[in-house]
Structure 1
Amino acid sequence: MANISKQKREEFIAKIEALKQKEAIDDTDRLLLNDIINELNEKRYGLVWEQHSEAVDDMMVNNIPVFTEDKDKKIVSAPDLPYNFLLEGDNLHSLKLLEKTHKGKIDVIYIDPPYNTGNKDFIYEDRMVGKDDGYRHSKWLSFMNERLKIAKKLLSQQGVIFISIDDNEYGQLKILCDSIYNEENFVANIIWAKNSGNNNSVNVSIKTEYVLVYGNDKKHLGKSFFFQRKESFDDILALVKKCKDNGMTPEEAQAELRNYYLKNKNIPNGTKQYKYVDDEFRIFRISDLGNPSDTAYQKPEYTYDYINPLTGEKCEIPKRGWLYKKKDLDKKVAENIIYFKAKVPQLKRYLDSVEYENVSSLLINNDLGNRDLEGVINEKSSFSYPKPISLIKKCISCNSNKDITVLDFFAGSGTTGQAVMDLNMEDGGSRKFILCTNNENNICEDVTYQRLKTVITGIRKDGSKYSDGISANLKYYKTDFVSKISKDKDYYIEDKITQHIKEMIELENAVEIDNDKYVLLLTDEEVDAFEQDMKNKNLKKVYIDSTIMLSGKALSYLDDKKVEVIPIPDYYFHKDINAG
C-alpha cells in the first residue's frame, strides 16, 4: 500500500532542496529552509495541534520559582514520621521545582485534571474556556502536554501514573500519553462505572468515566503491581475465625459460611466457590483431579486404583485418568490437599493461598466524592465532582509497596492526601504524599488544607469531632519567585535562592530542618557554632553548602556517630529552571 503522505512530503522536500541551490538564496534563507524540512520530517503519527504558551511559562523567562513555607500551617502529630507536603501555586511552577527534588523518585501519580467539557470548567490564561473557543482542545492539550512531560521525569523506574478523564478529551489524551510515555508502557484503561449519570445527556445517560494508566517502564512492573485482595477476603476469614473461637465444629462453620454467601449477593461467584472448611478451619474450594489429556486413560500410570482413606474402599477413577501419577498423588494426600468426601476425589485449593488477583479493568464504585468531602468539612461542598476516596485508594494500592511517595498535581479538594493517610492507618504503611494546587477562590487554604488538617487532627474547623485523627505530619509551601534581572550591582541570584534552600531540602527528604536531628549549614559562622554545640544534639543528618567545610575533628565525630553529612546539590541553584 502506497504511503501518500510520505510521497507528498518527499516531493515538497525535493522542491525545497532545489530552491536552496539557487544563487539568490543566502545563508539565512537556507537555514530557514532547513527548518522547514525539519518540520516536514518531524511528525509521522500522533496528535497535531496549535501549541499555546501560558503566562506561567512567560513568568519563568525572567524569574526562578522557589518555595516559601507558611509556618503557621505546619501540622505535627508524630514527630518521628516523615513529612507530607501541600504546595500552593500554579502546578507548572511546582512541577519545575519537583523536577529538581524528585526526579525519578515518585512511585505513584494520580491526577484528576480539568476535563474540558466546554462548560467553562477549564481555566487557561486566567480565562474560563468554553465551547465557543475554537482553540479549546489545542489549549487543553498544550496545558496537559507540558505538565505530563515533567510528570514522566518524576516517575521512578517502577512508577505508575493514573489519569482520570471522561469522554470529552479521552481520545486526545490517550494519543498524547502514548507519545509521552510510549504506547508500550500503556497498562490499562480502567472503566469506572459510577452510580450517577450525566442527566444533561440528550441521548444516553453517561455513567462511566476512565482512568488511563501508564508505567514509566512497564517491564519493571513485577508481580507486586496491579494485584488486589479478593473481594470480601478479610470478612470471610473473620467469619470462620469467629466460628472457631465460639467453639463451632468445621461443619458448622462451613454451614455459616454458605449462609453468608447466600445473604451477600455482591460477592463474586468465583469467591463463593470457596465454600468448604477443613479440620484446621482453612477455607477451600475443590477442583477436578481428572487428567486434561485425552489419551491419559490409556496409560496405566494414570489409571491405577486408589484407596479412599476415609472409607477403605476403591476410589472411582476419573474418566480420563488421574491428574497425577500415584507417587505424586500420595504426596498430595500427605499434604492434606485431596478432598475424599466427593464421589471422585477432588483437589483442594485454599483461599489463603490465592489472596490476590489481577486488578480488573472494570471498576464498579458507587461511592460519592462529595459525601466524602462533606463528611470531613461538615458542610455542603461547592467543590465540583471530587473523586471518591475509595477510587484513589484502589489506584494507590495497585503498588503493594507500603513505603512509597504519591504525587497529585491537580489536588483540588485533597482526596489523594486523605486516601494515602487512610491506607497508612489501615495497613500500617508509611506512604508519603505531595499535593499541588492553586488557591483560586481560596481552594487550597479553605478546602485542601482544612481537609488534611481535619483528617490528621480529627477536629473540624468548626470544632466538632470528625475522628480520632491519623498520625501524620504536613508542611504548607507557597510558590514564590526570584528575579533573574536586577539593576542592583550587589544582587546575586544564588544568594536569593539560598534563602529558600531549606524548603527544597525538606521537600526532597521529607524531613524538617530542626537544628537538632536535621541541621542545615550555609555559612562558616554557622559551621563554627555547630561544631561547638554538636555533641548536645541528637543528630541524624547534616546538610552543608558545598563551598564550606567541617573540620577534620567534626567529621571524625560525626562519622563515629554514623551521622550523614550531605552536600547541598548544585542543581538547586540552576538559574535555568529547565536544567533541574
Structure 2
Amino acid sequence: MSRLTDLITKAKAKDADLGRELEREFKALSSRRSFGLNFERHRPENVELPGRPIRKGDKVRILPERGSTKKGDQRLWKVTSFAGKGDERMASLSLLYTDEPEQAEASVADLVVVAEFRDYIYPGLVSTGKVERGEDKPFHTVINGENFHALEALTFTHRGKVDVIYIDPPYNSGAKDWKYNNRFVEGDDQYRHSKWLAMMERRLFVARELLNRECSVLIVTIDEKEFLRLGLLLEQTFPDANIQMVSSVINPKGATRASEFGRTDEYLFFVMFGSASPSPTQLGTEWKVTNDRRASKLRWAELLRSGSNTKREDSPNQFYPIFVLNGEEGPEFHSVGEANFSDDWHEVSPPEGCEAVWPIRSDQSEGNWQNSAESLRALIKKGYAKLGKWRGSSTAVTYLKKGEQKKVEAGVFPIIGHRQDNSIIVDDAAYQPTFIPGTQWRIPSHNAEQGGTNLLKNFIPSRKFPFPKSLYAVEDTLRFFVSKKLNAKVLDFFSGSGTTAHAVMRLNKQDGGRRQCISVTNNEVGADEQAKLRKDGLRPGDLSWEQWGICDYITKPRINAAITGQTPDGQLVKGDYKFTDEFPMADGFEENAEFFTLTYETPVAVSHNRAFERIAPLLWMRAGSEGSRIDKLPTNGWGVVDCYGLLTDLDQAAPFAEAIHGKDSIRIAYIVTDDERRFQSVVRQLPETVEPVRLYESYLTNFRFSMGR
C-alpha cells in the first residue's frame, strides 16, 4: 500500500465522507501524469535488526513463536521498561502510531529491534575477520548490513571519493528475489514496480553523495522487466550526467519463457559524471572490433573529406591545390597552394615539374580537404602527411589525426625513418591496439553460466548462489573506467556473491594497481530456506540461522577463497583463470580484505567515547583503509598509525603534532574536543597536507540530517 492510500484509509476510519472526498481528488490527480516517470513513493522500508541488544526506548516488533511460519505481528511497539534477568527478562511495551493506547508485555527474547526509515542512525562497524596477503596494499572491505544504512555510513568515510559504483540490483522479475518492508514482493503485487522504484530512488539519492562529481561513473545492470523505468529514474535523479545503455549477451542459448522470445541479454546503464568516459583499452580477440586490421597500425586518414559536408561550397577555404613532384622514388610534396575561390581553378599553373592535386571526388565533383592549407603545411613539415602511389596525374593524400599524432609523440609508435615525401616511418611491431567498443556486446567470456555459476563452484564448492555475474564481464566493464586510475575506489552496494571485489582484484594483478572495492551485502536467507529454518524453530539472529545468510555463506568465503586460493574446506581452488591473463586460481591474489558487520550506536555513547571500538573502523576507512588501525582509545592521549592520527587529550597536542610531522603518509588527524577554539589551536600545529577532523562533532553532524529520506 502506498503512503497516500495508507493515509486515506486512516482518514476514512475517522471520517468516511472526508475519506471519500480525499480518495476522489487523489484519483483525479493521479490520472493527470506529467511527462516523465511518476510512481508512488511508498511507505519506506522498516529494517529488522536481529541480534541488536534491546534498549529502553527502542522500537520493536513481537516475533511469532518459534516453529511458526506465520507472518507475525507487524505493529511497532516502544520499550518503556524492563523486569527480571537473564532468560526471564521481560519488557513492558507501548503500541506506536495508534489513537487507542495499548500496553503489552513480552519476553525480550521474542523481540526484534526495528529501524524505521525516518530514524537517524549512528553507525559503527565490528570486524568479523580479515585476510592479508597484500603487504602494504589498502584493504578491500565487505560490510554486512542493510545497504541504505551502509550507504549512509559511507557518507562519513567516502563522501565525494568514489570513482565507480557498480550495482546489480534485484531485477524485480516477479520471483522472490527481493524484500520490501520485511516481506518478499510477489509477482502479482499491484505495486511491485513502484515499490522497486521507491527502493532504488532512495539509495541512488545517497549514492549520489559518494561519487566524485569531477570524474566518476555509476553502472547499473538490469533486464527487460525494469530497464525502461530504470532509465527514466536515472535521468530524473542525475540530470547533469551523460547516460548511455549497452546491451550485453549473457546467455547465448536464451532463457526459455512460455509464449515469449528467449532472453539472451541484459542491459548496462552507464551514468557518467564530469569528465568520465570509457577509455580505449586493449580488448581480447573475442571482441569483434579487433578484427579491424587497420587498428593494429598507425592509422593514416584520407585528406579528402568524405561523409557529410563534402562539397566545395561547404568549406570553400579548403579547396586548394597540393603541388606534387613525381620523383624517381615516388611522389614528393613540393608545396601547398592557397585557397581558390574562382571557377577557373583548372587554369592554375603548378611549379615547373609538378602536378596539381585538387580535392576532386570519385564522381569528378568538386570537394574539399579535411585541413586548411596552413594546417597541411605544418603536417608535411612534421612528417604527418603522406602521398600514395602516383596514378596517372594524381595520387591519394593521407594524414595523421591528432589522436595518432599523440601516439607518435608519446613513443607508442617510435619513428625509425622518413619516406621520400618526408612522411614518417614507425615501428609498430610492439603495438597493442586499444578500442572503445559499440553498444552491442556479444562476448563469450561474459556468459553468466560459464563465467559466473560454474566459476563460483570452483571457489565455494557445493554452495549455490542464484545468477552470479560473469567475473570477466564485470572485469571488462570496470576496465573502461579504471584502467588509468590505479588507486580507484569502487563501490558495490548490492554485492551478492562478491563478483565486483573479485574483478577489482583481477584488474590489480594485471597492472599492479592498488584499487579498493567496498562491497555491501546483507545476510539475508532465501525465501525457501527461511521457511525450512522457521519450521526448525530458528529465527534471524540465531547462529544456526545466520550461517546460511548471503554474506556469511557466500560473499565472505568467495572473497577469502579468491585471495588465498583455498576453498572454505582448505582445498586448493581448482581451475585456471582465462582470457586477459591466465594463471591457476590456486595462486590467489596479493590483496587484503576485511569483513565487517554494521552496528547501530547511540549518539550519547558516541559523544562519550563509549562506542569508540565500533567507530574506529570508520575512522580507518576514511583515512584510506590502509595499514594499521587504532582500535582502542590510546592510554597516553594520542596515537599515530600509518595513515592517520588520533588526539583525545588536547594537553598532548605538542607531541601529537610532532609525530604527525614525522610521517609523510598521514592523511587525517582526528581531534576529540567540543571546544572549537582549542580545535583550531591544534590545527595550526599540523601540516597543511593533513585533513583535520573534529570528533565527534563531524561524525554526529553527518548523521543528523535526512539523507535519502
The question of a shared fold, defined as TM-score above 0.5 by the shorter chain, is answered with: yes
Cα offsets for 1:253-309 (capped at 9, x unmatched)? xxxxxxxxxxx796437722357xxxxxxx234543446665599999515342246
- The answer as to whether partners of 2:166 and 2:492 remain within 8 angstroms in 1 is yes
- Change in Cα spacing, 1:288 to 1:50, as seen in structure 2 (3 Å) is closer
Deviation at 1:470, TM superposition (A): 2.4
- The answer as to whether partners of 1:301 and 1:326 remain within 8 angstroms in 2 is no
- The answer as to whether partners of 2:459 and 2:562 remain within 8 angstroms in 1 is no
In the alignment, residue 263 of structure 2 is paired with which amino acid?
I
CA distance in 2, matches of 1:530, 1:163: 48
Deviation at 1:556, TM superposition (A): 9.4
Q: What SS class does the counterpart of residue 551 from structure 2 fall into? A: helix
- The answer as to whether partners of 1:67 and 1:477 remain within 8 angstroms in 2 is no
- Change in Cα spacing, 1:124 to 1:173, as seen in structure 2 (3 Å) is same
CA distance in 2, matches of 1:196, 1:47: 36
Q: Out of 294, 302, 305, which is 1:288 matched to?
A: 302
- Change in Cα spacing, 1:406 to 1:518, as seen in structure 2 (3 Å) is closer
- The answer as to whether partners of 2:493 and 2:520 remain within 8 angstroms in 1 is yes
Q: Give the number of equivalent residue pairs.
A: 495
- Change in Cα spacing, 1:230 to 1:464, as seen in structure 2 (3 Å) is closer
- Change in Cα spacing, 1:565 to 1:49, as seen in structure 2 (3 Å) is closer
- Aligned position for 2:440: 362
Deviation at 1:510, TM superposition (A): 2.0
Q: What SS class does the counterpart of residue 229 from structure 1 fall into? A: coil
Larger deviation, residues 369-378 vs 132-141? 369-378
Q: TM-score, normalised by structure 2?
A: 0.60
- The answer as to whether partners of 2:599 and 2:614 remain within 8 angstroms in 1 is no
CA distance in 2, matches of 1:497, 1:341: 79
- Aligned position for 1:382: 464
Q: Out of 307, 329, 340, which is 1:310 matched to?
A: 329
- The answer as to whether partners of 1:63 and 1:481 remain within 8 angstroms in 2 is no
- Change in Cα spacing, 1:555 to 1:532, as seen in structure 2 (3 Å) is closer
The reply on whether 1:202 has 2:262 as its aligned counterpart is: no
- The answer as to whether partners of 1:164 and 1:209 remain within 8 angstroms in 2 is yes
- Aligned position for 1:468: 587
CA distance in 2, matches of 1:576, 1:463: 44
Bigger Rg, structure 1 or 2: 2
Query: Superposition RMSD on alpha carbons, in Å?
Result: 4.3
CA distance in 2, matches of 1:290, 1:575: 60
Q: How does 1:440-479 map to 2 (within 5 A)?
A: 440=524, 441-461=548-568, 462-465=570-573, 466-479=585-598
Identity %: 23
Query: Which segments of 5 or more consecutive residues in structure 2 lack a partner in the other structure?
Result: 1-17, 49-113, 333-353, 362-367, 413-432, 525-547, 574-584, 631-638
Q: Out of 67, 75, 88, which is 2:131 matched to?
A: 75
- Aligned position for 2:617: 503
CA distance in 2, matches of 1:532, 1:334: 56
- The answer as to whether partners of 1:63 and 1:483 remain within 8 angstroms in 2 is no
- Aligned position for 1:419: 503
Q: How does 1:57-136 map to 2 (within 5 A)?
A: 59-60=115-116, 64-70=121-127, 73-136=129-192
Cα offsets for 1:368-400 (capped at 9, x unmatched)? 345444265152552111112232233323324
Q: TM-score, normalised by structure 1?
A: 0.72
Q: What SS class does the counterpart of residue 419 from structure 1 fall into? A: helix
- The answer as to whether partners of 1:393 and 1:420 remain within 8 angstroms in 2 is yes
- Aligned position for 1:22: none
- Change in Cα spacing, 1:103 to 1:289, as seen in structure 2 (3 Å) is closer
Q: Out of 597, 607, 610, which is 1:494 matched to?
A: 607
CA distance in 2, matches of 1:175, 1:298: 45
Q: What SS class does the counterpart of residue 156 from structure 1 fall into? A: coil
Q: Out of 377, 380, 396, which is 1:332 matched to?
A: 380
CA distance in 2, matches of 1:556, 1:295: 67
Q: What SS class does the counterpart of residue 74 from structure 1 fall into? A: strand
Cα offsets for 1:299-344 (capped at 9, x unmatched)? 9951534224624797894671994759946953761652545743
- The answer as to whether partners of 2:282 and 2:434 remain within 8 angstroms in 1 is yes
Q: What SS class does the counterpart of residue 517 from structure 2 fall into? A: strand
Larger deviation, residues 406-415 vs 354-363? 354-363
Deviation at 1:150, TM superposition (A): 1.0
The reply on whether 1:168 has 2:225 as its aligned counterpart is: yes
Deviation at 1:89, TM superposition (A): 1.0
- The answer as to whether partners of 1:115 and 1:165 remain within 8 angstroms in 2 is yes
CA distance in 2, matches of 1:378, 1:401: 31
In the alignment, residue 134 of structure 1 is paired with which amino acid?
Q
In the alignment, residue 294 of structure 2 is paired with which amino acid?
Q
- Aligned position for 1:14: none
Q: Which has the higher helix share?
A: 1
Deviation at 1:473, TM superposition (A): 2.1
Q: How does 1:36-47 map to 2 (within 5 A)?
A: 44-45=34-35, 46-47=37-38
The reply on whether 1:228 has 2:285 as its aligned counterpart is: no
Query: Which segments of 5 or more consecutive residues in structure 1 lack a partner in the other structure?
Result: 1-28, 233-263, 276-282, 485-490
Deviation at 1:363, TM superposition (A): 2.2
Deviation at 1:59, TM superposition (A): 0.5
- Aligned position for 1:241: none
In the alignment, residue 503 of structure 1 is paired with which amino acid?
P
- The answer as to whether partners of 2:319 and 2:359 remain within 8 angstroms in 1 is no
- The answer as to whether partners of 2:321 and 2:356 remain within 8 angstroms in 1 is no
In the alignment, residue 477 of structure 1 is paired with which amino acid?
F
CA distance in 1, matches of 2:437, 2:195: 34
Cα offsets for 1:199-258 (capped at 9, x unmatched)? 12422111121112223xx4x225xx22322645xxxxxxxxxxxxxxxxxxxxxxxxxx
In the alignment, residue 135 of structure 1 is paired with which amino acid?
Y
- Change in Cα spacing, 1:299 to 1:403, as seen in structure 2 (3 Å) is closer
CA distance in 2, matches of 1:497, 1:142: 33
- Change in Cα spacing, 1:481 to 1:553, as seen in structure 2 (3 Å) is closer
- Aligned position for 1:437: 521
- The answer as to whether partners of 1:107 and 1:156 remain within 8 angstroms in 2 is yes
Q: What SS class does the counterpart of residue 593 from structure 2 fall into? A: strand
- Aligned position for 1:271: 292
- Change in Cα spacing, 1:221 to 1:555, as seen in structure 2 (3 Å) is closer
- Change in Cα spacing, 1:570 to 1:454, as seen in structure 2 (3 Å) is same
Higher relative contact order (CA 8 A, sep 6+): 1
In the alignment, residue 459 of structure 1 is paired with which amino acid?
Q
CA distance in 2, matches of 1:329, 1:270: 34
